[in-house]
Chains A and B, each alone.
Chain A
Amino acid sequence: MPDVSQMQGLTNKLAEITASVSSFLPEISLAVSIIIILIYDLITHKRQRQYLLLFALVALLLTGYLTSLQWLSASRGAEEFLFNDMLVLDKASIFAKFVFLVAGILTILMSWPDRAHKPMLSIPGEQVILLVGLVLGTFLLCMSVNLLMVYLALELISLCSYILCTMNGDKPGSEAGLKFILFGAVSSAFMLYGMSLFYGFTGSLHINDPSFVAGLETIHWLPLTVAGLLVISGFLFKIAAFPFQVWAPDVYQGSPTPIVAFFSVAPKIAGLFILIRFTNAYSFVDLATYWQEILAAVAILSMTVGNFAAIRQKNAKRMLAYSSIAHGGFLLCGLVTFTDFGLSALLFYAAIYVLMNFAAFLIVMLLEGKTHSLEMDTFKGLGLKFPVLGVLTIVAMIALTGLPPTAGFTAKFLIFSSIWAAYASSAKPILLYLLIFGLFNTVISLAYYLKIPYLLFFKESAVTMVSDRKDYLKNILLVFLIIPIILLFFKSEWLLYIINSITFVFQKVHK
């Protein structure tokens, strides 16, 4: 029989779990809304899609409210560990949660059905549930500090993604789904194997625990590198970074556009978050410099592979898929600096990236609505027919390239500055290469981002079949995405103020 002290420990743990619940309200609200939507979906037969989407929207807004309460009550640099050190609640993760919520809300608005449009949702109930489930998964992942929790959150995201991708109900969707799940399962199996090794190294699963770091310090470099590489497989898969980028183009092409827009943003940023937390543990070991070089190589290759492949794409969604791989590389650059400035730049980039990528996908959706095709050649001359849409497209593409006057420029500028600052203070050549490749890739990306405005304005329309259907909601949404992209260029201080109030987790062991 367990003795008294053990029982005492058990009671303490139970009390801690109960106490954690109050800091877990946003996630609980998401989980509860999944159940409500599920029940609603089961008991109604009419399947009125708007109401399901409305439910989800309300749920996300409510979660947003709860999250903002958390933000307000969280003080600078404070961290709260929940559920026996499973999760950590700090300002950085709350910031990330806002990003995911914005992405979720935008996805719902993008899939809002308009009259006469081919419905995005063939089986609405499940799709909405899965979307909310995805948001929940990203929430959990960005807070995880325990390998078990990391695995669970990652699998939650993955399974939702696999099913959402396949659910389109058509041939490309199922093919994309198959490639997606097999590749994803392999990388998550790799990751799991790596995690089991870490458990062996340190006897702990808590990646921010001093004992975890202490365990790493005693380990030979070879197992440490192998295990580290295996573990980041799963993260890189979510970020779609080299060499785990291959699923992105097929999945983006085969899945519904709003869902793709979400894929391209939220899991990527959540994956970056967990990579940051994991790298934090590594930054104490002798191997840290080398680890930095590995991540830099991943960043460089992601940018290069993404951009070069994007050049020759004809399908708009595939092009954006490769572009998002390249952006993953740019986001990684912020992490590779291993400095607080770099991480702030990363957060800024992430926030802007959400806006501009959603804008890009929305544009693709609107153009597709006009020509019923995703081939970029069919977009010829549309800018002259629809000048407002054309101008908004130019702004979005300039932002993705990273040129002024858009916040995309500010984001790239911050990333480059942080790399240079890190190089100037540490003189590690790899950081210099990173900067050079970053600039070089920006030049390359000019070529294909400008292709869309080029086609829209400089070419005569080849297709006469242009549907003139007005889609007010999406147009308004697009305007509301473009405004902050320009506004945050002139007033980047607003966002920077928020980001500067976040002290990042880097170079710090907890407790």
Chain B
Amino acid sequence: MLLIVLIGYICALLVPVIAKALGRSHGYLIALVPLGVFVYLSTYFNRIVEGEVISRQYNWVPSLDVNFTFQLDGLSLFFGLLISFFGFLIFVYAAAYMKGYKESDKFFMYLLIFMASMLGLVMSSNLIALFIFWELTSFSSYLLIGFSHNAKTSRNAALQAFLVTASGGLALLAGFIILGEVTQTYELVEILSIHERVIDHPYYLAIVILILLGAFTKSAQFPFHFWLPNAMAAPTPVSAYLHSATMVKAGIYLIARFNPTLGGTEIWQFTLMIAGGITMLLGAILAIQHTDLKKILAYTTISALGILVLMLGAGTSLAIQSAMVFLLAHALYKGALFLITGNIDKQTGSRDVLELSGLYKFMPFTGVAAFLACFSMAGVLPFFGFIGKELIYEAALHATVQHIALLVAVIVSGVAFVAIAIEIGYGLFIQNISFSERNYKEAPVAMLVAPVTLAVLGLVFGLFAGVLVQPLLTQVSNVVGNEDLPLELHFWHGFNLVLMLSLLTLLLGTALFFVRKGIRKIPLHLDYLYNHGPTAWYDGLLQLIKRFARLQTSYFQNGYLRNYIAVIVAFFSFMLASVLWQFDLKIFPVANFDIDNVRFYEVIILAFTLVAVFVFFKTRSRLTSIVTMGVVGYAVAIIFIFFGAPDVAITQFLIETLTVVLFVLILHKLPPLRFYPLKSFQNGLYIIISIGFGLLMTSVLLLVTEHPMVSGLKAYFAENTYILGKGKNAVNVILVDFRALDTMGEISVLAIAAIGIVALLKLKLVKGKMK
């Protein structure tokens, strides 16, 4: 099974080679790949229909329980067949459609990558593998939407679609990680076997929310639906394949796949029903309002996705069955309609329903396909769409909760579908409004095969539903519902309530078609909605991010050292403040100033140092700065002697002298120091920060001395004062000398510094010479 997935990727890599060898017609050859996959998957058909589940595991990272586990059950096979069959038709169609485009080999490459990822997605039964394919579909969709990269709209749409779906994907990953931690496995089969534990777990809510976020972004559910209409900037075959038949159904697949594991709770049900319901109605209403054919189809697709989510949310076995049947029906007619739109667009150069009419005369084959597809969409007997709609109405009638509201909602969207179907089938092809000179040609054969096949299948499946689709869909529903229930598909159920409702829908839809122009004129304040709806949220979020980015950069990264240091100090203070919050509040210790023991010379040195530091701080003369700095250094050296460290003191003396000399030399080369008075407010602020920090430091130090620090050592110290102070200095020196490693380190540092300084100064000379 790995082979099915891999073959797509391998062929994708070969596409440029094939394209070079075959020239323009390479698309047809590549179409054999999905056909091969379809045939191969079909060989499993009988086994799967009998309820068998085939799984293969390829070890990947067993230590983390991440493996490529592939599983073929009813649901995966159904999607797999859908993907490969559509893939075949789309490739044939695209081979003709993309002829005029530059770099069409890349297009097929991306399309193959997408198809392989999609197949991997539906066959994976390891969560992490599933996520990986999930993100790959997002990424290949990004490449495909942006394919017409000259147009700014398509670039932006590509980025928008990717940001939305990939972010959702990351939420999905988080959900999977949590689920994995809860169940201690990433294998779906094992998770299914302990799903009660998941549902009772406190993290259940988080898991559901995160996983549904992934599904909703992918399947364009409200409020993430906005990327889908924009994604219509992609070439039409892409719209047909990704954004109506397969990729957007990945979210539905995910929900269906997880229904047995996570489903059956109120949270699950209501979230799905609410999101699905809103999406369904919103899509239906917006579809009526638009006149661009592709936009109309996009919104009806959103509406259809809403229906699917709604039905999965309703959760009864009838609802699940109806969702799966409708999924197939929708894929068939919507795919066909998109391709028909592609034909119209290609041949007439327009996609606006207001500009197009009477096309049947010029494009009879396209027209026939359109009629068939529209009948299916409208749900006319005996088309497959009719069966789907019947089942949905029935499921709504028998829903366990809110069945009246459900029924009304699905009928409303059904009415809209009928009106749009009439608009396309009748309005575009038969009705003849404008009489301006037109002469369009029928699309080439290759571009007719796919839409006609799909549309005809919509009729054939309707007529022979019991034989052709029933076996597989029974398995599919069983997998999703996690129970074995028979599914009976007939187009004729006798005169019953559902049939009446269907007829009512048709009538209302026809009525809606005739008043549609009036409805379009009704100011729905759509501009307001667009300005304040999810699209605006998305834009606003982007703006907010940019603004925040600018703000924080200008604050943290403004190029001034003092600001940087102030940020550090502020950060430290904040951290300390929050420790303070958590611990007791004793900050200022009582200092143990032992005045009696202070000797006269100590006082002098201390006072001297403090005065020098203060002068250093206040002075504006460069010489005074250097001198006072030297004084501080020497004073420190003297203090070292007090503490019995003569060797350190000597070093300090020497180095301090050296440093002072160095500073003098350098300052000699530079112009006089200029002093810039800070704004007094700023200055005050900085001084307060520093002094505060200094005080904190003092209190810390005093705490150290106050503390019974290493108290044992103090006793030891008292006994050995004299020896420690002077007597052992010889050992001291020897030991210092034998600290071999430190010395090596020090020598390295010094050597590096010397080399560097020489190099830097030499560099200056070289530069000087060049001048």
| Residues of A bordering B, CB below 8 Å | 1-2, 6, 10, 13-14, 17, 20, 31, 34, 38, 82-84, 86-87, 122-123, 126-127, 129-130, 133, 136-137, 140, 148-149, 152-153, 155-156, 159-160, 162-163, 166-167, 169, 179, 182-183, 186-187, 190, 193, 197, 200-203, 215, 218-223, 225-227, 229, 233, 242-246, 249-250, 287, 290, 293-294, 297, 305, 308-309, 311-312, 384, 398, 403-405, 409-410, 413-414, 416-417, 420-421, 424, 435, 439, 442-444, 446-447, 450, 454, 457-460, 490, 492-493, 496, 500
Contact = CB atoms under 8 A, between A and B. Distances in A.
A420 B550 CA distance: 32
B752 A183 contact: no
Interface in B161-183: 162-163, 166-167, 170-171, 173-174, 177-178, 180-181
A454 B751 CA distance: 47
A2 B731 contact: yes
B709 interface: yes
A242 B707 CA distance: 32
A186 B146 contact: no
A218 B710 CA distance: 9
A123 B579 contact: no
B549 A311 contact: yes
B8 to A, nearest CB: 13
Which of A137, A159, A246, A457 neighbours the largest number of chain B CB atoms within 10 Å of its CB? A246
Contacts of A13: 735, 738
Given A156-B749, A226-B700, A490 B60 contact: yes
A384 B749 CA distance: 48
16 contacts: A2-B730, A34-B748, A87-B741, A126-B755, A129-B755, A167-B759, A179-B561, A183-B561, A203-B713, A222-B703, A413-B128, A413-B177, A416-B174, A447-B163, A458-B158, A460-B150
Interface stretch (B61-69, B342-350, B394-402): B61-69
Nearest to A247: B564
B728 A2 contact: yes
B232 interface: no
A305 B181 contact: no
Which of B146, B567, B734, B751 neighbours the largest number of chain A CB atoms within 10 Å of its CB? B751
A421 B159 CA distance: 33
B602 interface: no
A227 B700 CA distance: 9
A227 B751 CA distance: 31
Contact of B576 (A123, A229, A421): A229
B582 A309 contact: no
A203 B567 CA distance: 32
B22 to A, nearest CB: 19
Chain A residues touching B, majority SS: helix
Contacts of A129: 752, 755
A148 B578 CA distance: 30
B696 A221 contact: no
Given A2-B731, A123-B763, A420-B181, A152 B746 contact: yes
B735 A243 contact: no
A186 to B, nearest CB: 6
A211 B284 CA distance: 74
A445 to B, nearest CB: 11
A127 B763 CA distance: 12
Given A166-B760, A182-B561, A308 B552 contact: yes
Contacts of A215: 710
A454 B159 contact: yes
The number of chain B residues touching the other chain, given as a range, is 35 or more
A38 B561 CA distance: 35
B177 A416 contact: yes
A472 to B, nearest CB: 21
A1 B730 CA distance: 8
Given A179-B559, A222-B587, A243-B568, 13 more contacts: A10-B734, A149-B741, A153-B745, A183-B561, A197-B701, A202-B710, A218-B709, A309-B552, A309-B557, A404-B132, A413-B173, A416-B173, A450-B142
B132 A439 contact: no
A145 to B, nearest CB: 12
A290 B579 contact: yes
Contacts of A203: 709-710, 713
Interface in B90-139: 103, 128, 131-132, 135-136, 139
Contacts of B440: none
B575 A169 contact: no
A205 B150 CA distance: 64
Contacts of A447: 163, 545
Nearest to A151: B745
Contacts of A218: 707-709
Contacts of A417: 64, 177, 180-181
Contacts of B708: 218
A136 B748 contact: yes
A225 B575 contact: yes
Contact of A159 (B178, B753, B767): B753
A446 B580 CA distance: 38
B3 interface: no
A490 B578 CA distance: 44
A82 B752 contact: no
Nearest to A38: B755
Nearest to B203: A424
Nearest to A304: B552
Contacts of B155: 454, 458-459
